Structure 1
């Protein structure tokens, strides 16, 4: 099968870590081992990744160092993180099996220059702050800030919707040669058509949406969206919690409409999973990195499937007494 695996930026730098290079290498080793296990089973694998902590750190460096060095635009910073994280992941793959060909692709993604996102920044980037510190940085550095899923406050930037991944033919060609492809880092470098020119714009594309866009364009069979839990749950954290093993695309759509999958947590992943199934007829699975191989085999994770492959199935129900 042809598989697109999307890894979140917060899996590269985990909560409570300083983000040192040795920490990040240790964090991605498990992902590299799982991806290579899939390749050994005969699958073609594309790995995409987030960059929230990394681009946030570069934005902070930009602001604090502007008296010493000219600040760079956000699209250039995203390109920098693609190189940085691509090198990190390639190093992890080489440490596991240096014989496997790996290609890291700088990836531009077309967006609409008139996207409403540019007037309503919502994408969290960088470290968490308490409210007072976030307000101080907003006042001093001109940031937009917002609370993030009850974990603190973060800077927010525009998150335009991806229209097309530029260079997707290169991805497909490399896969056919047995290469593991790393691309669409940080959701891709956002670019827009201005007159006859394609130019970078200031924004961070959601990496799950970009991964879904890529998966459709390269005719992937499966889209894997990695997160911090093995399965998606309804009524998460309550005594009525139910882990979902399988969800039809219609039930996923109803859950999104009813608010069962909050925008600040599982919503974007479920939206991207459902969109991929609707647009391609393929399947999507949401799971954790340690369950990746088992999930692709159909033994774990929450699968989003065409209605014909239903019904939806609950894997586990919390104690309700």
Structure 2
């Protein structure tokens, strides 16, 4: 299971044009194709934070002419958009029909506290004045994000189930590269009669990938990010890479604040959830080092495993 960030498809310095997204998807597909050609069975979850936020801005800008759609509909739209782009890019590398995009609904608890405390940044970075103006005009909540500007935040409940799980398993068994739970999936809750209700939220794609990986009994979870590996004391003079961790040490470092919620924290949390539910290993790395980390090249990426690792590997 590979989780690809939405920022990898629309980079922070980009506007998010179709051409930019397609070029970024082509670069990502090259890394994914290396795994396919090595004989691995592959499923992919992608993020959609920049894209769903941009789409919301477009919707609101023309709301007086065309009714704006709710957030759960925008999540479905970006699943189709990005899933299609990635599928075509993977097919270009591995042959037509290799990849299949599946619009996926993900179960959450309607009473999840996340609905009262939005934390998931979406859309472009804004200056404070513009962000606060949009918040007043549209009823948004906005926060400063990683020192790079202000962004809208929306609820991000924890995933508790994959609605289309049987279809994902069938496609994997048929040999397809499956793109599922895009953008974390469309958040839905189940009523007493089993009927699903869509909810306005954006599920964290790393947590969705961990849930899906557990459900399909994947052995490995790859969480791709903009850095080659995890660092301890990030942004300080003591910053140093860490290439191997066990579950206990990763959990201790997370609790100690080494991995902030706005950056590496969700990836460590997702990795721990996957491993505690039976996964073999979780790897955090960049797309450029994906194949090297998959092959166990020393010093490539950060590998978190259930079995203890020597403390010397933390240096």
- TM class by shorter-chain length? over 0.9
In the alignment, the residues of structure 2 paired with residue 269 and residue 169 of structure 1 have an alpha-carbon distance, to the nearest angstrom, of 26
Whether the 8 Å CA contact 1:242–1:314 is kept in 2: the answer is no
> Gaps (5+ residues) in structure 2?
none
**What TM-score comes out, normalization by structure 1 length?**
0.94
**What TM-score comes out, normalization by structure 2 length?**
0.96
Give secondary structure in 2 for the equivalent of 1:117.
helix
State whether structure 2 residue 146 is matched by structure 1 residue 164: no
Whether the 8 Å CA contact 1:30–1:290 is kept in 2: the answer is no
Quote the residue 2:303 is aligned against: 303
1:241 to 229, 239, 257: 239
Aligned length: 312
Any residues of structure 2 matched to 1:55-134 within 5 Å, and which?
Answer: 55-99=52-96, 101-134=98-131
Give secondary structure in 1 for the equivalent of 2:277.
helix
Deviation at 1:100, TM superposition (A): 5.1
Classify 1:245/1:69 alpha carbon distance in 2 versus 1 (closer, same or farther; 3 Å): same
Any residues of structure 2 matched to 1:279-294 within 5 Å, and which?
Answer: 279-294=277-292
Deviation at 1:62, TM superposition (A): 1.9
Any residues of structure 2 matched to 1:221-300 within 5 Å, and which?
Answer: 221-299=219-297, 300=300
In the alignment, the residues of structure 2 paired with residue 48 and residue 72 of structure 1 have an alpha-carbon distance, to the nearest angstrom, of 24
In the alignment, the residues of structure 1 paired with residue 196 and residue 18 of structure 2 have an alpha-carbon distance, to the nearest angstrom, of 34
Q: What is the CA deviation profile of residues 54-109 of structure 1, one whole-angstrom value per residue up to 9, with x for unaligned ones?
A: 11011112211110111111111100000000111012123223345211001000
Give secondary structure in 2 for the equivalent of 1:125.
strand
In the alignment, the residues of structure 2 paired with residue 123 and residue 112 of structure 1 have an alpha-carbon distance, to the nearest angstrom, of 17
In the alignment, the residues of structure 2 paired with residue 85 and residue 147 of structure 1 have an alpha-carbon distance, to the nearest angstrom, of 26
Worse overlay, 124-133 or 90-99? 90-99
Worse overlay, 232-241 or 266-275? 232-241
Runs of 4+ with deviation above 2 angstroms: 94-100, 311-316
Deviation at 1:123, TM superposition (A): 0.5
Whether the 8 Å CA contact 1:246–1:312 is kept in 2: the answer is no
In the alignment, the residues of structure 2 paired with residue 220 and residue 24 of structure 1 have an alpha-carbon distance, to the nearest angstrom, of 28
